[in-house]
Structure 1
Amino acid sequence: MQPVIASYPNQSILAKSYLDSDKLWVFSFEKIRRKGCISCSSYISFPSSRFAPNFSQLKTDAKNKGAFYTTRCFNGVLGLDQTCEKVEVDYEEISDAVQNGRIDVRALTLTLHDAKTADDMAELLKDYPYLPLQVYNCIIRRLGFAQRLDAAFAIVEWLKKNRTLNELIYNSLLSAVKISKRFYKVSEVIDDMRSQGFEPNIVTYNTLMSIYIEVGKTKEIFNLFSQIEVAGLSPSTATYCTILSTYKEMEDAHGALEYFIKFREKYQMGQLQRDSFEEDLERAFVKIETCTVKICLSLMRKWLLKEENNTAEVLRFLSCMDKADVKLDQYFLGRLVWVCTRKEHYMLVEELYKRSREPGLEGDLSVSVCNRIIWFMGKAKKWWAALEVFEEMLERGPMPNNFSFGLVVSNFIVLLMAARQRGIYRWPLKLLDKMGERDLTPSTKQWNTILIACSKVYETEAAVEIFQLMVQKGEKPSVLTYGLLLSSLEKGALYDEAVRVWDHMRKVGVKPNVYAYTIMASMYARKGNHDMVDLVLQEMAAARIEPTVVTFNAIISGCAKGRMGAAAFEWFHKMEGRNVKPNEVSYEKVIVALARDGKPKLAHQMYEKACKEGFVLKQRAHDAVFKAGGVGGVSVHLDDLGSYPVERRKSTQNKSNQSDFCYSSA
């Protein structure tokens, strides 16, 4: 018969085949360390029909393995303890010898699921009559998790008939009641426990308090706590943490903070009994302080997730924590930052970031938290604050990553427009220089986003320098990159430079797309070189690229900027001849071009045509027709133009700005 390991903790123990025992023997192995002997609660049992184990052989094997052990007969099988000499144990070496004979507690628990009475349990456990009580504790808890509380009670009834019980069995049974949430069994367990001569210990009280938390009986929890001292017991670390959890259940962060302050006063005055804590009193205090901070953090996060704006309440509570000298470290500050998602939380995020920069704070400020703050600042439209956070990362740390740079770039357009208004023309390049000093290289998409921003705010010079810097950094420009540079040059009226960039792009083998062709056609139309516009359209046809309505709108817009209304009108009809359907932008551009060129009748006719086709033009087209009629001596009545158009929000589909067209054409 193989030996049986009745229970096994973290360290395994030696199991050998002793086939000479007619009783169940359990050997308890202990480990010796410099600071004392620490029990491992590890057992080996040897069932057999023969005589007792050969102790001399067992002793020799243990010495060979470097083991120290005591042999003990459980349940008074022999009525005495036998002890062999003590030597050191090497558990790593011993664990390799464990191959067979283990009792699988999980499998054993499964066999007990259907037991209802002590007799059922006696039949199922007949092969394991003398397992250590620790094994039964484990089985009872597992039965609670499996919602088999009847089987757990049956084990206790069977143990009462066959073994000597202790408080641990009843605490395990009470824990099983809690796990299975059959709380009506609590009084039955306590009454049975007292009938067997056991009074509730501190573990019992802790379990009862946690049960009351689950059922929402907060008043009973404080009553139980007062009974602990009456019973002559001392609260443990778990007791204090359970009380704090009660305040969490009540959503009373101030109450939890005040309770911890009173506990700290007792600790500082030496009024706490060291023996009541499972570890050193100093470590217990740290655990309880951490538990307090976690509960306060959890409640603040809960406040922020509610529909109403509780930013002021959180800020006030943070002040209360400061007065109580309870500090949030970097980790907890970051947890609070991550739950801020609404614009109303801006003041709180600003305060949390300020606190995270305070010297002497435990922990390090993480890049992910800084990125979250930058993202939030952008969402709250605090773009310059987001930039300040990014620049502070560059100067003080933590070192930003490419994602940090991407977040800043995502706000680039707004920042550049603000920079233009403030006259900060060189700011984009300075930011890129700082990034280069930290070996942070933007991706191609990020470079293109910067060029889009420069194009939108007509920063042609900055766009050229950024393009050159991109090439110097070894980034290969794409067709989209060239198109963005062409757009900036076209808007800056640098036509010769645009032609050189166009020629260079084709020379290096970058094939133009519809976006690049559109920019060049618009540029030539603005210069009045319509032969080159035709040539561009021919090249598009040769490349099997069909001009879109955006292409013709750009040509018409170029004619309008050059005050060539007749040319714009001609290109409008060419667009219709190519079966490209005009849109609202097409009509608005040609109407403005005709009005500027002193052709009010044509402008009026085009306006009426657009209205008949169901287009609702902007106020700009309406005003252009009316003003052109007055200047040209043509009478245009407001009634003829219909009702005055209501200004609409800009449509994302019909934007005439070519830099918005770039990604859809890439």
Structure 2
Amino acid sequence: MIVNSLIDTLYKAGRVDEAWKMFRRLKELKLDPTTVTYNTLLAGLGKEGKVQRALELFGSMTESGCPPNTVTFNTLLDSLCKNDAVDLALKMLSRMTMMNCSPDILTYNTIIYGLIKENRISYAFWFYHQMKKSLHPDHITLCTLLPGVVRYRRVDDAIKIIMEFVHQASLQTSREFWAELMECILIEADIEQAILFAERLVDSICQDDYVIIPLIRVLCKRNKPLDAQKLFDKFTKTLGIHPTMESYNCLMDGLLGHNVTEKAWDLFVEMKNAGCYPNIFTYNLLLDAHSKSRRFNELLELYNEMLCRGCKPNAITHNIIISSLVKSNKLDKALDLYYDLISGDFFPTPCTYGPLIDGLLKARRSEEAMKIFEEMLDYQCKPNCAIYNILINGFGKAGEVDIACDLFKRMVKKGIRPDLKSYTILVECMCMIGRVDDAMRYFEELKLTGIDPDTVSYNLMINGLGKSSRLEEALSLFSEMKKKGITPDLYTYNSLILHLGIAGMVDLAGQMYEELQLVGFQPNVFTYNALIRGHSMSGNKDRAFTVYEKMMTMGCSPNKGTYAQLPNKC
């Protein structure tokens, strides 16, 4: 029925009022709603959390000559269970059976989900066994039930359920199933219980390394890469799992992501010795690690090894190499590689162009940078916000702020939304050349667009205002950032202390010095130098030397700037 499709389309498009308006117009159009019509509206109400209204609509179905079907009940049960009305869902299930509507696997899975959500594990377990009398559980049943069972430390029960499931006639369990199951368990259960379940699983029925991949990911996300490696070693060297490229890569990614590079390289060697040949993902991880640590000779050696092994580089590989060549001051080699690649079947990405444009701008080769930028579209590569930020930053830092502003306008005109970095760059560049009003305009525009300024952007603006002797505005911004919950850092305080001191407001500078310590910061040499300078400029030699003595007492070593600020004793 076309009307049903229209109501469904309107609801999915977020045009809820129009969907209901269409439903109410059915009588005018001399059309009768069908069960499908009601099911569509019930699903929408469920997603909105409007349980009472859904129940009222359900109650009106029979009056309209539309008896509910299994889909209707499943839709309503889903709404009830997701909105903490499981007891009502259980009553609705009884009503379902009384109306000769047969519960299906989705019905049972939904009720089990609701019971697990309310921590009614024993009831969910009983319900699961009731379901088995007439239906075979599916993988969704297990991914719904077992996380709760494991969370309540009933690992033996969980293993028994999984063994029964696997031994069902003609059931094939994929590697993805084991990974999904472990991911679901990790959402509900703590890591220790999940590991215990995985150990029992490996010991009894599954020797697939996809069981440990989610565990490795979670440990690495929790900043425990060494624990992830211990787990990997235990499962592969003690419990007998044969690691594949996927588990090696997962652990390597975690180790490198936490700068545990030596262990990652040991794993790379172990991987090759075990006869598990690295793929392009492996090499890209290691090439990127070399690039980030600026070990460019080792990077090229690894790249050559990769080619010798017949591993074909992809776009990510080429982008890493180009970026590394630029960072190692081999800009022309990077450009040669780029032109060589685009003459073949290589499709460049913004990550290809970013380092090249940045390198050219830093080398004061702005015309070439713009040429590369303009030819991006020739290779079906649309510039993004990051590319524009590189250009705006390059021209702005070179003093070409008008070009930087034009590029910003061009970006907006192209429909590319500036981000926090875009505005921060412009604020910094304007402050650098003393155009503080323009900087403030961009800073205010940033807030109007709905982007929250961060500590860095506030610091730039406060420092710019301070340099222009607009201390009242700087202090106002300082108060504003604290009210917004944006924490000032030591740079914020040092900047204010410096400019307050220069303006002769040394008492207020002293208050800032006290405040920074109260909030937990340790004054550094720049803090003390700013205080000494303020007192010296105000003609108060004694207080300047008192600050110097305090600095020494606190174990903060002076620098050349300290002695330059100290007044002559005579």
The normalised TM-score by structure 2 is 0.48
Greater percentage in strand:
1
Higher relative contact order structure (alpha carbons within 8 Å, sequence separation ≥ 6): 1
Structure showing the higher helix proportion among its residues: 2
